Amino acid sequence: MGGNKKFEIDPDKFAFLRDLLNSSPYYKHIKMELTGFTEDGCMMRMEVGKDHANIYGNVHGGAIASLADSACGLSLIIRLHEGEFAVTQTLVVNYLKPAPIGVMTARGWIVHRGKTTAVLEADLFSESGDLVAHAQTTHAIRIR
């Protein structure tokens, strides 16, 4: 499992990345935000309300998948070299228990970073701290 030790990133660089990423129209639409970086990844949160709910009143799996994909992808962003970008190739989400409406958090981390691909994982938690999902992604690393 990924650690939650804080990664020493230049505060100005973190602020720039946080503001840039959190200004994403999609992130704003689903109320998701980057909250920090760890030594091997990132931390995120999403305010989930009734507009994120499935017909049973729990958080819809698609909303959980969005948070998982972002936690994995943003874990990689600070490990990309100048001129590189990454895109998700695969996303696998294991839904462990229903996620209630409230604030969800995610912790993503890098499992492996190669020259052209990366494997990442994320754990997603309910507001009460219950582990509700675990995800794994493979990202393609490309040159602009």
DSSP 5: P
Low-confidence winner among 78-82, 104-108, 121-125 (lowest mean pLDDT): 78-82
pLDDT given for residue 8 in this prediction: 63
pLDDT (tens digit per residue) in 42-55: 999 999 999 999 99
Residue 16: pLDDT band (50, 70, 90) is confident
Burial of 100 (0-12, 13-18, 19+ CB in 10 A): middle
Strand partners, 91: 137
Q: Which pLDDT score, from 0 to 100, does residue 10 have?
A: 75
Q: Is the pLDDT of residue 3 over 80?
A: no
Supply the mean pLDDT for the chain: 92
DSSP type of residue 138:
E
Mean of the pLDDT values across residues 114-128?
98
**Is residue 4 pLDDT above 90, yes or no?**
no
d(CA 68, CA 56): 21
Whole-structure pTM value: 0.91
Over residues 62-92, the pLDDT tens digits come to 999 999 999 999 999 989 999 999 999 999 9
- Please spell the DSSP secondary structure of 30-74, one letter per residue: HTEEEEEEETTEEEEEEEE-GGGB-TTSSBPHHHHHHHHHHHHHH
Q: Tell which residue, 101, 99, 118, 100, has the closest CA to residue 110.
A: 118
| In the predicted structure, residue 137 carries a pLDDT above the cut 70 | yes
Domains of the chain: 11-143 (3.10.129.10)
d(CA 84, CA 118): 12
Q: Which pLDDT does position 54 carry in this prediction? A: 97
